[in-house]
């Protein structure tokens, strides 16, 4: 499976990731097979240099907007400033196996993952190819 994203949109998200030594995070909007927009959110984790937690007010507002015809949330993004763009042990422990997209920004590149039900652990991350347009 592939998910489309515009080059400009991806570059904007990657630039946000490079702008901070802390983990940055936000929401991804779109529809099946396409990321069409994003919204940065404050990282309210107690240790934002090592973990991320989306500002709940942003998340709640986005869900309310989606219920009234606004853009659908298809996932979120976050950065691993000093690491690679693969799900961490913390990501696996905190993720829900709901099929959402996880765009992880590493120090070198961005990679997209889908959180699915796992067999040994609660969540299995499966890499999804980005169709950069």
Taking only the tens place, the pLDDT of each residue in 21-70 is 999 999 999 998 999 999 999 999 999 999 999 999 999 999 999 999 99
Distance CA 70, CA 90 (A): 30
What CA dihedral angle connects 63, 65, 70 and 71, to 10 degrees?
-30
Q: How confident is the model at residue 108 (pLDDT cuts 50, 70, 90)?
A: confident
Backbone angles phi, psi at 49, to 5 degrees: -75, -20
Range of the domain at 128: 2-132
pTM score, two decimals?
A: 0.94
Using an 8 Å Cβ cutoff, are 112 and 100 in contact? no
Q: Three-state SS for 43?
A: strand
Give tens-digit pLDDT for 57-104.
Answer: 999 999 999 999 999 999 999 999 888 999 999 999 889 999 999 999
pLDDT of 1 reads 78
pLDDT of 119 reads 72
| CATH assignment at residue 20 | 3.40.140.10
How many domains, in total, are found in the chain?
Answer: 1
Tokens of 21: 């030594």
Distance CA 33, CA 74 (A): 9
The yes-or-no verdict on residue 120 having pLDDT over 70 is no
Closest CA to 82 of 132, 18, 37, 27: 18
Mean pLDDT over all residues of the chain?
94
Distance CA 54, CA 119 (A): 27
């Amino acid at each position: 499976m592939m998910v489309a994203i515009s080059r400009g949109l991806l570059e904007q998200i990657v630039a946000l990731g490079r702008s901070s030594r802390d983990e940055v995070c936000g929401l991804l909007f779109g529809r099946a097979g396409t990321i069409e927009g994003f919204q940065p959110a404050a990282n309210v984790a107690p240790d934002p240099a090592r973990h991320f937690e989306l500002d709940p007010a942003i998340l709640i507002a986005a869900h309310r907007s989606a219920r009234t015809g606004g853009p659908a949330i298809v996932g979120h993004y976050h950065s691993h400033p000093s690491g690679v763009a693969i799900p961490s042990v913390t990501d696996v422990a905190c993720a829900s196996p709901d099929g959402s997209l996880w765009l992880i920004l590493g120090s070198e590149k961005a990679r997209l993952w889908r959180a699915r039900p796992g067999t040994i652990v609660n969540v299995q991350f499966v890499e999804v190819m980005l169709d950069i347009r």
